[in-house]
A and B are shown apart, each in its own frame.
Chain A
Amino acid sequence: MKLKQLLKLVFINITQNKVRTFLTTLGVIVGTATIFMVVAIGAGGEARVNEQYAKLNVGTIIVMPAARGKVADPLTKKDALLFQESENVARAFPLLRGNGSITYDNFSTNAGFQAIQPGFQDSNHLTVQQGRALVEDDEKKKNKYAVVGAELANTLTDGNPSGIVGRSISINSRKFEVVGVYNPVGDSGTGMSYDDSAFIPYTVGEKYLLGTRANPTIIVQATGLETVQSAIEDITNILNETHRAGGAEQFRILDAGSRLVAAQESARTMSLLLLAVAAVVLIVSGIGIMNVMFVTVKERTREIGTLKAIGAKKREILGQFLIEAVVISLVGGVLGVIIGFAAVPLLKYFELPALPSISGILLGLVFSVITGVFFGFYPAWKAAELNPIDALRYE
């Protein structure tokens, strides 16, 4: 029998029992919709992570004191220069960090401030949206200038940062002139948000704000992602040399790339977990299909006998029932994808990032067909193997 006729026969059989067909497809609908949404959520999650870390320099290594507060043997500017001598290190900048009350126009907020050398801005993708960045001259002259992060600028000005440049803010009661506002950069990978910080020249931070409590962190840029580990080894060796008293032990060395990898991995783990759930749903729906196909074969036993008597070959019987199972599951798959699509706005409403994709549609459909083939095969094979006499005699 030609495939076209076989399909026609299957179509006639399936449409004659619409309720059963629909009930059988329910599991497949849920399974396929789940797969589709999982792929969408996975893609959305990954996109969110990538967006979040877009500006992150993955070669960034942070060297910071292991203990908070006053340290007996702090890092120094000299350490940064020594680090820079390693062939695996592109640049290294000392950085002073603090927290405090920042006031602008009688409005106060608690935020971080960071004292940096001008080169730090380039290597951390800090660009200004208004005004200017910090420059070498500010560093040398110990100018009491500040550049504020995008978010902090918004907070201080109640969402209208255009007028802040040229005005003054006070950090822990010391006045600074705002010379610029940075563009947002997202997660810095250093454990402190750049967007929510104020930046001042390093020398100014040393002199006015932190004084003897100055306890620098050093931000190191490795020459590439692949040299991060070697750079960390070099840094450890240098610290053991220069801080003989406590050695490298008193410092923590973090690398930002591993945080990105971890975030991507956790997004992927989440996707896999959901995919496993979808697989379970499909297996259950497959068992449902198998059940219904067994009932169908049983019901049509005499028909199968008749078909064999008028010349249907085994493979034609097998094909007919297998196609029936696949069509049922494929119908479920298509409905599942449609429902998945319809659910995307709902997911977005619940702030789940969802990005519908062709691969999600294909994966859903492929899985639904596989379910039909896999679970439809045994009943179809049973039908094909029926002894024609027994089948004809079946009541």
Chain B
Amino acid sequence: MANNAKCIIDAKNIVKIYQNGSDELKVLDDVTLQVFEGDFTAILGPSGSGKSTLMNILGCLDLPTSGQYLLDGLDVLKASDNELSGIRNKKIGFVFQKFNLLPRLTALQNVMLPLLYRGISESEAMERAKQKLTLLGLEDRLTHRPNELSGGQQQRVAIARAIVGNPDIVLADEPTGNLDSKSSQDAMEIFKELNQQGNTIVIITHDIEVAEQVNKIFYIRDGKIYNDGGKGVG
């Protein structure tokens, strides 16, 4: 796809090998992929395909055994532990399958958290978190704790947390995996809307129905990417 947009994710020849005793397990085998600013992308693959490992590497939670990964032009492999924390905080917004909200914090506090880790003042963080929660239709759930919210609402809080810091990219790992079909559809609509507002979104999923709603799909199987991010079924 011809593209003049900025390249956010630029991963080349990514290899990830897990050492299990004397056995070597090649989970990612020479993966190359690019995600551009404004993309709405899915990485689609069955379980065991290596998509979670890929997501961990793209999310700077893990480092590849070999290869090169530039995130927004920044060489992730050369970053220190602290720098990786900073990258995750500022450049990436995570959405997890199980929402991963902190159970003792209110919805508002959960969404404020990434900003607080960035050193932003409490009042400003609160303002921005409120704004995002309102955007996602949760303005009357600010002081609710996760266990007082439905699954769909919890995932919306998690999405609010992912986008509150205006990251370069939102990484969603099976975001609909724990939701009923109605809530799943709602979540996908939210992602679409966020994408239309200019957010770059990558969804990691095994669900073809989810993948069909995005603009680009990378198929992954046995640690290999089978297309270069075109649209279609393969």
Contact = CB atoms under 8 A, between A and B. Distances in A.
Contacts of B94: 309-310
A4 B116 CA distance: 10
A173 interface: no
A303 B99 CA distance: 11
Interface string B94-131: 10100011111100010001101111011000000000
A308 B85 contact: yes
Contacts of B96: 306, 309, 392
B81 interface: yes
B16 to A, nearest CB: 11
A126 B54 CA distance: 94
A4 B89 CA distance: 19
Interface stretch (A25-33, A144-152, A311-319): A311-319
A1 B105 CA distance: 16
Contacts of A312: 85, 89, 117
A389 B56 contact: yes
Contacts of A4: 122
Given A306-B96, A311-B86, A311-B90, A2 B119 contact: yes
A118 interface: no
Contact of A310 (B56, B62, B82, B89): B89
B224 interface: no
B104 A308 contact: no
A310 B114 contact: yes
A316 B117 contact: yes
B116 A5 contact: yes
Nearest to B162: A310
A160 interface: no
Nearest to B59: A309
Question: Chain B interface: which size bin?
Answer: 20 to 34
Contact of B82 (A303, A314, A389, A392): A314
Nearest to B56: A389
A311 B81 contact: no
A238 B89 CA distance: 89
Contact of A388 (B61, B102, B103, B117): B61
A309 to B, nearest CB: 5
Interface in B48-62: 56, 59, 61-62
A13 B102 CA distance: 10
B149 to A, nearest CB: 16
Nearest to A314: B81
B161 interface: yes
Contacts of B88: 308-311
Contacts of B113: 307, 310
A302 B98 CA distance: 10
B81 A1 contact: no
A309 B56 CA distance: 10
A16 interface: yes
Nearest to B85: A313
A133 to B, nearest CB: 78
A309 B109 CA distance: 16
A392 B195 CA distance: 26
A314 B113 CA distance: 16
A308 B82 contact: no
Given A2-B116, A309-B59, A16 B85 contact: no
Contacts of B105: 9, 12
Contact of A1 (B56, B59, B102, B119): B119
Interface string B51-81: 0000010010110000000000000000001
Give the 10 A-B CB pairs with smallest separation, nearest first: A311-B89, A306-B100, A313-B85, A310-B114, A311-B117, A16-B104, A388-B61, A5-B116, A309-B94, A311-B88
Interface of A: 1-2, 4-5, 9, 12-13, 16, 302-303, 305-314, 316, 388-389, 392
Given A16-B104, A302-B100, A309-B61, 10 more contacts: A2-B116, A5-B122, A303-B100, A306-B100, A307-B113, A309-B94, A309-B96, A311-B90, A312-B85, A313-B86
18 contacts: A1-B116, A2-B119, A2-B121, A302-B100, A306-B100, A306-B101, A307-B102, A308-B85, A310-B89, A310-B114, A311-B85, A311-B89, A311-B90, A311-B118, A312-B85, A313-B82, A314-B81, A392-B100
